[in-house]
């Protein structure tokens, strides 16, 4: 009896130690481990479509987000980037209180589900029209982009799968603007430290110019949806409002 008691006490102690070592892991480390695990898995598109159901509430079945930039376009994003953002958000290495509950293991699942939903989203065709900036400073924007962004994000804003560098072509201007400002001021904790350094001397005019230019980088035709395309995987999705008409800027 006594021995059994000691054994179970030792077992609880072990459990406590192992779980406290988990807690001691930083959010960034937890996210990195999850990315490493998810990235090498074979993905299942049909399972990814099912997981995507909860995401359509905000990102809509097309994954195009909104031109006002409140919701980003996620369709066509590189799978490794989607995996990293999901892992960062649920490890709280990137703050996104609106989306956080939907990324929980209970609702989304584990690394396999992350890999599946990332694969599904990345193959969705992108919005034929996206929100762009005011268009008044594009020459400056182009110069700044070439001098400061091409090395990482690519000449067409296509990103880099290997290094988890986001594709930014075709992204809504206002979303780019918000993320860029958060990255610059350190609010987006998962940011790339080299990028943070690179953009420190950017003025307000520089920021708006370079992102206006970036928002006008067009994804290649084969990545774009035809006008008014609706995702046939979600035939019963109720659209309370029709797709808003294009605003002229
Ligand atoms: C309740 C609304 C909501 C739901 C549901 C939701 N998201 Fe999001 N998501 C957002 C918002 C808002 C942002 C942008 C947050 C910000 O500005 O940083 C975002 C950002 C993202 C990003 C980062 C995009 C980027 O380029 O930085 C990814 C990837 C993403 N969501 C995927 C998903 C997936 C996958 C699901 C379903 C499992 C999902 N989201 C469900 C609201 C939501
Ligand atoms: C040293 C490489 C590097 C440079 C230089 C760089 N970036 Fe980035 N950028 C990154 C990485 C990596 C991320 C993603 C960080 C993460 O994991 O969340 C990122 C994220 C972003 C995002 C957020 C995208 C999203 O979908 O959430 C924007 C916008 C952005 N960069 C714009 C720019 C612009 C514009 C420039 C030039 C002025 C630039 N970056 C320079 C590496 C770089």
pLDDT, tens digit (0-9, with 9 covering 90-100), for 20-30 = 445 568 999 99
- Cα 59 to Cα 71: distance, rounded to the nearest angstrom: 6
Q: What is the 3-class SS of 110-151, one letter each residue?
A: CHHHHHHHHHHHHCCCECCCCCCCCCCCHHHHHHHHHHHCHH
Q: What is the pLDDT of residue 239?
A: 75
Q: What is the pLDDT of residue 241?
A: 62
Whether the CB-CB separation of 75 and 126 falls below 8 Å is answered with yes
Rg of the chain over all Cα atoms, to the nearest angstrom: 21
User: Could you report the per-residue pLDDT of 214-249, keeping only the tens digit for each?
Assistant: 999 999 999 999 988 999 999 988 876 655 555 554
Of 3.30.1490.20, 1.10.760.10, 3.40.50.740, 3.40.50.20, the CATH number of 27-223 is: 1.10.760.10
Q: What is the pLDDT of residue 99?
A: 96
Q: What are phi and psi of 160, to 5 degrees?
A: -150, 115
Mutating to test ligand 1, I would choose from 35, 50, 51, 55 the residue with most ligand atoms within 8 A of its C-beta, which is 55
Residue spans of the domains in the chain: they are 27-223
- Long-range own/partner contacts, residues 38-43 (CB < 8 A, 24 or more apart): 38/83, 38/87, 38/111, 38/112, 38/114, 38/115, 38/118, 39/80, 39/83, 39/115, 41/111, 41/112, 41/115, 42/115, 43/79, 43/115, 43/116, 43/118, 43/119, 43/120
> Residue 121 — left, alpha, or beta (φ > 0 → left; ψ -120 to 50 → alpha)?
alpha
- Give, using CA atoms, the residue closest to atom 29 of ligand 1: 82
Q: Is the CB of 165 under 6 A from ligand 2?
A: yes
Q: What is the pLDDT of residue 18?
A: 47
Token duo for residue 36? 């490493």
Q: What is the pLDDT of residue 145?
A: 98
Q: Is the CB of 196 under 6 A from ligand 2?
A: no
* Bigger pLDDT: 24 vs 117: 117
Between the alpha carbon of residue 122 and those of residues 26, 90, 118, 208, the distances in Å are: 28, 19, 6, 27
Among the bound ligands, name the one nearest to the CA of residue 169.
Answer: 2
Average of pLDDT values for 138-153? 98
Q: Is the CB of 214 under 6 A from ligand 2?
A: yes
Q: Is the CB of 189 under 6 A from ligand 1?
A: no
- Token pair 């035939």: residue: 235
- Give, using CA atoms, the residue closest to atom 16 of ligand 2: 191
- Token pair 């700044």: residue: 144
User: Could you report the per-residue pLDDT of 49-79, keeping only the tens digit for each?
Assistant: 999 999 999 999 999 999 999 999 999 999 9
User: Could you report the per-residue pLDDT of 94-106, keeping only the tens digit for each?
Assistant: 999 999 999 999 9
User: Could you report the per-residue pLDDT of 163-198, keeping only the tens digit for each?
Assistant: 999 999 999 999 999 999 999 999 999 999 999 999
Q: How far is the CA of 176 from the centre of ligand 1 (A)?
A: 14
- Give, using CA atoms, the residue closest to atom 12 of ligand 2: 165
Minimum-distance ligand 1 atom for the alpha carbon of 103: 38
* Bigger pLDDT: 109 vs 1: 109
Whether the CB-CB separation of 156 and 240 falls below 8 Å is answered with no
């Amino acid at each position: 009896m006594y021995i059994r008691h000691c054994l179970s006490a030792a077992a609880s102690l072990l459990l406590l130690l192992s779980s406290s070592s988990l807690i001691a892991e930083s959010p960034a480390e937890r996210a990195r481990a999850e990315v490493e695990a998810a990235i090498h898995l074979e993905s299942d598109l049909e399972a990814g479509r099912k997981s995507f159901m909860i995401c359509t509430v905000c990102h809509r079945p097309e994954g195009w987000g909104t031109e006002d930039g409140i919701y980003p376009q996620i369709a066509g994003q590189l799978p490794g980037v989607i995996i990293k953002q999901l892992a960062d958000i649920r490890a709280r290495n990137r703050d996104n209180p609106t989306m956080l509950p939907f990324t929980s293991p209970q609702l989304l699942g584990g690394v396999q589900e992350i890999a599946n939903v990332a694969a599904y989203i990345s193959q969705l065709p992108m919005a034929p029209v996206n929100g762009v900036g005011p268009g008044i400073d594009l020459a400056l924007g182009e110069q700044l982009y070439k001098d400061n962004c091409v090395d990482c994000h690519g000449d067409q804003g296509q990103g880099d799968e290997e290094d988890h560098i986001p594709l930014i072509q075709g992204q809504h201007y206002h979303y780019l603007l918000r993320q860029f400002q958060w990255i610059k001021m350190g609010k987006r904790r998962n940011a790339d430290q080299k990028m943070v350094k690179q953009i420190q001397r950017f003025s307000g005019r520089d920021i708006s110019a370079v992102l206006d230019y970036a928002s006008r980088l067009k994804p290649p035709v084969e990545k774009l949806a035809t006008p008014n395309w609706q995702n046939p995987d979600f035939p019963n999705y109720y659209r309370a409002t029709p797709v808003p008409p294009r605003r002229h800027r």
